[in-house]
Amino acid sequence: MLKGKKALIVGASRGIGEAIALCYAKEGADLVITGRNMQTLVPVLEKLKALGANAYAIEWDVSDVSKGPDVMKKAAEYMGGLNVVVNNAGVIDREKFLQVREEEWDRIFSVNVKGAYFCCQSAANYYLENNEGDFKGKIIVIGSECGHQPHITPYGISKWSVRGMCLGLAKVLFKHGVVLQNIAPGPVTTEMMLWEEGKSDAWNSAFGRMAHPDEIADLAAFLASDKSNRIAGMPIYINGGLNY
């Protein structure tokens, strides 16, 4: 489904990002993966190469927005082009409202909002400056179902911002041949969700469990394909209908 695609997965050292990278590799895409620590990227890179993928890794903390344009350029040099960028980088907080500190707010927003915004900007600028034709590329943002619920935590509020950002950017970018899409998962069995020792993945859904990263990755693969070129902006929820 993705043969010939050149994809950059931002935040791919574990969880959903790793699952998306592995899924893309199986579907035939060339890949560059990024994360804050090269040590955690290497095992993922080895898995991708074992699948026969043309794959590379770049160390990048997405909150360092100044590096975004260089990462896009370097990824394109590695792969001989770039036409899919997945922004999966994200962090979560554990504090209750009355205990939230300013530095915690800044940490969450620097990655989840500022990092996402400028990652999208860097990808769009690369596409518009380097890719020809009416369709220039895809940006897929991994948000959260939190984006349509009332929230009092920095994480939840940051995902409201991501939802609004995706709706706004998609409308503008589509006119220029850049398709921006937004996946909004519910609870997923990742280290970020199952952080507490002994915490169960049981959830109030028809399946009696959280979603698995592979299930998010399957949708991300469809969105990266040419079969989804008219889907833009609106969040696609993967949450078992929990909040409808």
In the chain, count of helices (H) and strands (E)?
7, 7
* 1 in any annotated domain: no
> Which tokens go with 225?
């394909």
pLDDT tens, N- to C-terminus, the chain (244 residues) = 999 999 999 999 999 999 999 999 999 999 999 999 999 999 999 999 999 999 999 999 999 999 999 999 999 999 999 999 999 999 988 778 889 999 999 999 999 999 999 999 999 999 999 999 999 999 999 999 877 778 889 999 999 999 999 999 999 999 999 999 999 998 887 665 545 555 555 555 556 667 789 999 999 999 999 999 999 999 999 887 765 4
Question: Residue 11 is part of which domain span?
Answer: 6-238
Average pLDDT, the chain: 91
Tokens in use for 204?
Answer: 């109030």
Residues with catalytic roles: 155
Residue 243 lies in a domain: no
Any domain includes 223:
yes
Pick from 142, 159, 163: which is nearest to 151 by CA? 159
Residue 244 lies in a domain: no
Rounded to an integer, what distance in angstroms lies between the CA atom of residue 30 and that of residue 146? 31
Q: How many domains does the chain have?
A: 1
CA atoms within 13 A on the CB side of 91: 20
The dihedral over CA atoms of 232, 234, 235, 236, expressed in degrees to the nearest 10, equals -70
3-class SS of residue 7: strand
- Core vs surface per residue 114-140: b (16+ CB within 10 A) or e: bbbbbbbebbbebbeeebeeeebbbbb
Place of tokens 């620097």: 110
CATH of the domain at 77: 3.40.50.720
